[in-house]
C-alpha cells in the first residue's frame, strides 16, 4: 500500500466523528491493506512496533522538528518549526504546511530512474531501522533517516508521518476501534478477536490471522514465552465485597513493589514491567533466581520487592531505582537488594493456563517454582482474612489482595475478580476497655484490644475488638502503655480502666448483638494511639448511630 | 582470512571519510586491497573508497566481506599514536576482528553484512565542468556559506573561467569565487547546482586541507569530489545529490 493512500484514509477517519462510522472506515482500510495489514493496524493507533516489543523509536519532538526543518528546505530551522507547532498546536498540521522533496536523491540520477512513491512497508522498515540505531552518533543517524522520509513526503503524508513518529496519531482510533474493525472486516467473532489480542498483545498479528485463517486461526493463537502480555489488574474493594460475591476468598499478600512478568524458555529469562518494558538487564539477581528455581519453561506474574539487610520490605521507590537503572547495575545492585514474589502462572511447560481457575494456577506455580511463591489462603471466614492481613502488615507489606479462587486470568482486564483491599472508609476514636494476653511469642504482650465508645458520663459501651494492623514492636509499646490501667485479670482476659484512646479504621458499621453498644465494626484495624484525646473526647455511641444510619 | 598491518594515520583517514556519512558499512576484502561503498539513509550522499594493498605494511586476504560499526573501530584506532601500526586480523570462528596496537589487544564484534543498508549503484554521470582545487578552499567556501545559510550553490562560469560559491540566507549572503589562476586546474563548462550544507559540512570534515580535490559539476546535477588518501595508495570519491532550486 502506498503511504499516500494510507494518509488519505487517515484523513478521512480524522474528519469523521461518530464512533461507528470510524469503525467502518478502519474496517474498509483493513480490507484493502493487503500485505501491509499488520503495519496499518498499528499505524492507525500511532504505533510502529507491537506493544509487546520493547523497541522504542526514542524520537523526541526536537529531533522531529529538526528533521522537518531539514526537509523543508531553504533556511527553515528547527526553532521555526517549533514555533509553528506552538502556534498551530499540532505537529502533523505543521509538517503538512511545508513543501518537502527539495532534496533530490542520488537514485534520480542513476539508471534506475526517479525514486518511487513511499509505501507503508518502506515507512515501517525505515522507522524500524531508526529504532535500532543506538550508541554514539545514533541521534544523527535517526535524524538522517527521518529527514530522508520527510523528504519523500507529500504534505498529506508528512502530516501522518510526523504524528506516527511522535505517537500522537489523534484520528480517533483507539484499541477498541481496531478490535471492532478487525471483527467487521474479516467476519470473525468479537470474542475470538478479544481473546487473541489478550494472548498476543499484537494488533497487527491478530488482524492478519483474522483475515488469513479466520476464527480457527485466532483460536490457535497462544501465549508465547518471550512475548509479554498485559497484566491482569485489580479494583479497589472491601472484604465485605469479596465475602458477599464469592463462595470463598483467595487472600494473598499485597506487596509494595513493582509488577513483573517473568518469561523463561528453559534457557533464558526475560523480565517485563507492567508497561511491557524489558527490565531483564537491571535485575540480574532475579534472572539468576528464576534460572535456579524454575523447573520448566513458564510465564509467571509477580512482584519484585526491595528489601533491607534484614530482609524487610522497603518502599516501592527503591525498586523503581533499580528499574530505571540502565548503567552501573552492579553498583545499584549492592545498594538495593530485590526479591521476587510470584503469585500467578500464565503458562507452564507448553500449557496455557489463562482459562484455568486461579487456585489451580497457583497449585501449578507451587509445583514448578522452588521458592519465592506468594502464599495463597483460600477461606470463607472473614476472621481468617483478617489474620492474613495482620500477618502481611506485620511483615511490613502493604496489605492484602482478595481474589476469586475460580477466576481465570484476563490480561489487561481490571475486573471485579481481583480486589485490592480498599483503605478503611472511616476511622473512629475508641476507648480501650479490655484486652487479651497473646499466645506464643506474643505471650508477654497484650493483644486483641476491646474497643468501646462513650455512652454518657463515665459510661462506655463495647463495639468491637481490634487485633490487626499492629506490629510486634507496637504491641510491646501498647502493653507498656496499658498495663498500669489494668483493673482485673481472668485467665487471658484483662479488664482495662478507660484511659487510652485508639484511632481505628474499619470497613463498615453493622448492628450486632455481640457488643453492648448494639453495633460492631467490620474489619477494624489499629491505626494509632490518640495521645491528644482522653476517654471523654473519644467518639460516642451517638456518632456511631449516625454513621450506621448514613450507611 | 584477513590479516593486515596498517599505520594508524591511514586507518583513521579511511574510516573518517566513510563515517561522516554512515555508522556501519561493509568492507570488501580483495587481493588488490579494501573497498567500501556506502550511501546515507536518505540516499543523498555517497562515498566510494578504495585502499590499495600497497597502503598497508602487510596485507593478506582470501577475499570476503565484513560488516563494521565504524565508530567502534574508530575508537580502537584512536588508541594508537599517529605513527603507530595497527594489526587487524579476522577471527573466522567468532566473526570478530582482532585489533592489536603495540601491547594493546582487543576484539571488535562484527556486524552481519546482510543487516547493513544495501550499497548503491554508482550513478554514471558525465559532468561538464571539472575544478581542481585545494581542500582548504573547500573548507573556506563551506565555512563562509555556513555563516549565513543552510544551502550552498556551486557553479562554474564558462566565459569568465570562474568557479564560484553562493550562499543566501534570510538576510545575509556570501559570494566566493576562484579564477583559473587560483585553481590547480579548470575544465570550464556551464554548471550550477544547489546543495544542502549539512552534507557538505560532513564531507568537508573528512577532506584533507592540503589535498588536491577534483570536483565535477553540472547543471542541477550531483557534485562529485575525488581525492587521494594514503599518499596516493587510496582514493575517495564523494557524490552528493542536489536540492531543487525553488526560485
C-alpha grid cell for residue A332? 545499584
What CATH number does the domain located at A233-421 have? 3.30.470.30
A74: distance to nearest CA of chain B, Å? 6
Catalytic residue among A142, A254, A403, A465: A254
Nearest to B66 by CA among B88, B39, B44, B43: B88
- Residue A105 and residue B42: Cβ atoms within 8 Å? yes
How far is it, in rounded angstroms, from Cα A331 to Cα A270? 21
How far is it, in rounded angstroms, from Cα A11 to Cα A13? 5
The rounded Cα A342 to chain-centroid distance in angstroms is 15
DSSP code of B231?
A: G
C-alpha grid cell for residue A525? 484495624
How far is it, in rounded angstroms, from Cα A231 to Cα A273? 9
Is A145 an 8 Å CB contact of chain B?
A: yes
| Blockwise average pLDDT, block size 10, chain A, 551 residues | 96 94 97 96 94 84 94 89 92 92 83 70 92 79 91 93 93 95 97 94 96 96 94 88 90 92 96 89 93 95 91 82 70 78 96 96 96 93 83 84 95 90 78 90 88 91 87 87 91 92 89 92 87 89 88 51
The DSSP code sequence of A450-472 is EEEEE-STT-EEEEEEE-SS--H
How far is it, in rounded angstroms, from Cα B78 to Cα B84? 11
Is A106 an 8 Å CB contact of chain B?
A: yes
Q: List alpha helices for A325-403, DSSP H.
A: 329-335, 358-368, 382-394
Q: Tell me if residue A273 falls in helix, strand or coil.
A: strand
Cα atoms in the 13 Å half-sphere on the side-chain side of B211: 22
Q: Is A326 a catalytic residue?
A: no
Percent helix, percent strand, percent coil in chain A, to nearest 5:
45, 25, 35
The pTM is what? 0.77
User: Cell 585545494 identifies what position?
Assistant: B134
Sort out which chain B residues have CB atoms less than 8 A from A75's CB and list them: 149-151, 169-170
Domains of chain B, CATH where assigned: 2-115 (3.70.10.10), 129-240 (3.70.10.10)
CATH topology of domain A426-550: OB fold (Dihydrolipoamide Acetyltransferase, E2P) (2.40.50)
How far is it, in rounded angstroms, from Cα B71 to Cα A225? 35
> In chain B, which residues touch A (CB < 8 A)?
19, 22-23, 39-46, 69, 71, 117, 120-125, 149-151, 168-170, 196, 198, 221-222, 239, 241-244, 246
Residue A54: partners with Cβ closer than 8 Å, 6 or more residues away: A272, A276, A277, A278
Instruction: Say if domain A47-165 classifies as CATH 3.40.50.1370.
Output: no
Q: Identify any residues that bridge with B214 across adjacent strands, giving them in sequence order.
A: B132, B226
Nearest to B14 by CA among B42, B39, B47: B47
- Residue B41 and residue A148: Cβ atoms within 8 Å? yes
- Residue B120 and residue A107: Cβ atoms within 8 Å? yes
Q: What are phi and psi of A322, to 5 degrees?
A: -70, -40
- Residue B42 and residue A151: Cβ atoms within 8 Å? yes
Interface probe for B, chosen from A77, A104, A126 (most Cβ of B below 10 Å), is: A104
pLDDT at position A92, please?
Answer: 94
pLDDT at position A327, please?
Answer: 62
- Residue B44 and residue A108: Cβ atoms within 8 Å? no
Count of CB atoms within 10 A of residue A383's CB? 10
Percent helix, percent strand, percent coil in chain B, to nearest 5:
25, 45, 30
pLDDT at position A424, please?
Answer: 63
User: Cell 507498656 identifies what position?
Assistant: A480
pLDDT at position A427, please?
Answer: 86
Q: Is the dihedral of CA A260, A263, A269, A272 positive or negative?
A: negative
How far is it, in rounded angstroms, from Cα B86 to Cα B9? 10
Residue A205: partners with Cβ closer than 8 Å, 6 or more residues away: A38, A50, A221
B129: distance to nearest CA of chain A, Å? 17
Start-end of CATH 2.40.50.140 domains in chain A: 426-550
Q: How far is CA A437 from CA A123, A430, A478, A483, B177, in A?
A: 73, 20, 12, 11, 102
Q: Output the CA angle B206-B208-B212, nearest 5 degrees.
A: 125
C-alpha grid cell for residue B57? 605494511
Is A142 an 8 Å CB contact of chain B?
A: no
Note the ipTM here.
Answer: 0.85
Q: Is the dihedral of CA A203, A49, A45, A418 positive or negative?
A: positive
How far is it, in rounded angstroms, from Cα B108 to Cα B145? 39
Nearest to A259 by CA among A292, A220, A233: A233
Start-end of CATH 1.10.3260.10 domains in chain A: 47-165
Helices (H) and strands (E) in chain B, counts: 4, 18
B183-203: average pLDDT: 95
Amino acid at each position: 500500500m502506498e503511504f499516500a493512500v494510507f494518509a488519505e484514509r487517515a484523513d478521512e477517519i480524522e474528519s469523521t466523528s461518530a464512533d461507528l462510522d470510524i469503525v467502518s472506515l478502519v474496517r474498509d482500510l483493513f480490507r484493502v491493506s493487503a500485505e501491509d495489514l499488520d503495519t496499518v493496524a498499528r499505524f492507525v493507533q500511532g504505533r510502529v512496533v507491537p506493544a509487546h516489543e520493547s523497541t522504542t523509536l526514542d524520537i523526541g519532538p526536537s529531533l522531529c522538528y529538526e528533521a522537518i526543518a531539514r526537509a523543508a528546505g531553504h533556511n527553515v530551522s528547527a526553532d521555526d518549526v517549533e514555533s509553528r507547532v506552538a502556534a498551530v498546536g499540532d505537529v502533523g498540521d505543521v509538517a503538512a504546511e511545508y513543501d518537502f522533496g527539495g532534496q533530490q536523491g542520488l537514485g534520480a540520477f542513476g539508471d534506475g530512474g526517479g525514486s518511487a512513491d513511499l509505501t507503508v512497508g518502506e515507512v515501517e522498515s525505515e522507522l524500524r531501522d531508526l529504532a535500532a540505531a543506538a550508541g554514539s552518533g545514533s541521534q544523527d543517524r535517526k535524524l538522517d533517516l527521518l529527514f530522508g522520509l520527510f523528504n519523500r513526503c507529500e504534505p498529506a503524508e508528512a502530516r501522518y508521518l510526523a504524528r506516527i513518529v511522535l505517537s500522537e496519531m489523534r484520528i480517533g482510533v483507539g484499541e477498541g476501534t481496531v478490535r471492532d474493525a478487525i471483527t467487521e472486516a474479516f467476519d470473525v467473532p468479537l470474542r475470538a478477536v478479544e481473546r487473541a489480542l489478550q494472548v498476543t498483545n499484537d494488533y497487527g498479528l491478530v488482524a492478519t490471522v483474522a483475515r488469513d485463517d479466520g476464527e480457527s486461526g485466532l483460536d490457535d493463537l497462544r501465549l508465547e514465552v518471550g512475548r509479554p502480555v498485559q497484566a491482569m489488574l485489580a479494583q479497589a474493594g472491601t472484604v465485605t465485597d469479596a465475602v458477599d460475591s464469592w463462595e470463598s476468598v483467595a487472600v494473598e499478600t499485597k506487596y509494595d513493589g513493582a509488577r513483573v512478568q517473568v518469561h523463561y524458555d528453559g534457557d533464558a529469562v526475560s523480565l517485563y514491567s507492567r508497561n511491557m518494558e524489558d527490565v531483564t538487564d537491571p535485575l540480574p539477581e532475579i534472572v539468576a533466581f528464576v534460572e535456579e528455581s524454575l523447573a520448566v519453561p513458564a510465564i509467571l506474574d509477580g512482584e519484585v520487592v526491595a528489601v533491607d539487610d534484614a530482609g524487610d520490605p522497603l518502599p516501592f521507590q527503591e525498586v523503581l531505582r533499580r528499574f530505571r537503572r540502565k548503567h552501573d547495575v552492579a553498583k545499584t545492585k549492592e545498594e538495593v537488594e530485590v526479591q521476587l514474589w510470584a503469585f500467578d502462572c500464565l503458562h507452564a511447560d507448553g500449557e496455557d493456563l489463562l482459562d484455568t481457575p486461579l487456585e489451580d494456577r497457583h497449585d501449578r506455580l507451587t509445583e514448578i517454582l522452588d521458592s519465592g511463591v506468594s502464599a495463597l489462603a483460600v477461606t470463607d471466614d472473614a476472621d481468617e482474612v483478617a489474620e492474613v492481613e495482620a500477618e502481611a502488615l506485620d511483615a511490613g507489606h502493604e496489605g492484602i489482595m482478595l481474589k476469586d479462587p475460580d477466576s481465570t486470568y484476563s490480561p489487561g482486564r481490571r475486573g471485579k475478580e481481583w480486589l485490592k483491599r480498599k483503605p478503611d472508609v472511616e476511622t473512629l476514636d475508641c476507648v480501650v476497655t479490655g484486652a487479651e494476653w497473646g499466645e506464643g511469642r506474643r505471650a508477654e504482650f497484650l493483644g486483641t484490644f476491646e474497643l468501646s465508645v462513650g455512652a454518657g458520663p463515665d459510661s462506655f459501651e463495647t463495639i468491637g475488638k481490634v487485633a490487626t494492623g499492629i506490629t510486634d514492636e507496637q504491641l510491646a509499646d501498647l502493653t507498656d502503655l496499658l498495663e498500669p490501667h489494668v483493673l482485673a485479670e481472668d485467665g487471658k482476659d484483662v479488664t482495662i480502666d478507660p484511659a487510652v484512646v485508639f484511632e481505628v479504621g474499619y470497613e463498615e458499621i453493622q448492628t450486632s448483638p455481640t457488643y453492648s453498644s448494639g453495633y460492631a465494626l467490620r474489619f477494624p484495624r489499629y491505626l494509632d494511639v490518640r495521645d491528644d484525646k482522653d476517654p471523654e473526647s473519644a467518639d460516642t455511641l451517638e456518632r456511631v448511630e449516625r454513621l450506621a444510619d448514613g450507611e | 582470512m584477513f590479516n593486515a598491518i596498517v599505520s594508524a594515520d591511514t586507518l583513521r583517514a579511511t574510516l573518517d571519510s566513510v563515517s561522516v556519512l554512515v555508522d556501519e558499512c561493509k568492507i570488501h576484502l580483495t587481493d588488490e586491497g579494501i573497498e567500501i561503498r556506502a550511501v546515507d539513509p536518505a540516499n543523498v550522499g555517497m562515498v566510494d573508497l578504495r585502499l590499495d594493498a600497497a597502503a598497508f605494511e602487510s596485507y593478506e586476504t582470501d577475499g570476503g566481506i565484513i560488516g563494521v560499526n565504524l565508530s567502534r573501530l574508530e575508537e580502537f584506532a584512536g588508541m594508537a599514536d599517529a605513527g603507530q601500526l595497527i594489526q587487524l586480523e579476522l577471527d573466522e570462528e567468532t566473526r570478530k576482528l582482532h585489533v592489536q596496537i603495540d601491547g594493546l589487544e582487543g576484539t571488535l564484534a562484527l556486524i552481519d553484512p546482510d543487516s547493513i543498508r544495501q550499497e548503491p549503484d554508482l550513478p554514471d554521470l558525465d559532468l561538464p565542468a571539472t575544478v581542481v582545487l585545494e581542500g582548504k578552499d573547500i573548507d573556506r567556501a563551506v565555512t563562509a556559506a555556513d555563516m549565513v545559510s543552510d544551502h550552498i550553490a556551486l557553479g562554474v562560469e564558462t566565459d569568465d573561467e570562474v568557479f564560484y560559491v553562493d550562499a543566501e540566507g534570510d538576510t545575509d549572503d556570501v559570494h566566493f569565487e576562484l579564477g583559473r589562476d587560483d585553481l590547480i586546474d579548470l575544465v570550464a563548462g556551464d554548471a550550477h547546482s544547489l546543495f544542502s550544507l549539512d552534507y557538505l559540512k560532513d564531507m568537508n570534515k573528512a577532506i584533507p586541507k592540503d589535498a588536491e580535490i577534483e570536483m565535477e559539476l553540472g547543471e542541477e546535477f550531483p557534485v562529485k569530489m575525488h581525492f587521494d588518501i594514503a599518499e596516493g595508495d587510496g582514493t575517495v570519491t564523494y557524490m552528493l545529490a542536489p536540492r531543487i532550486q525553488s526560485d
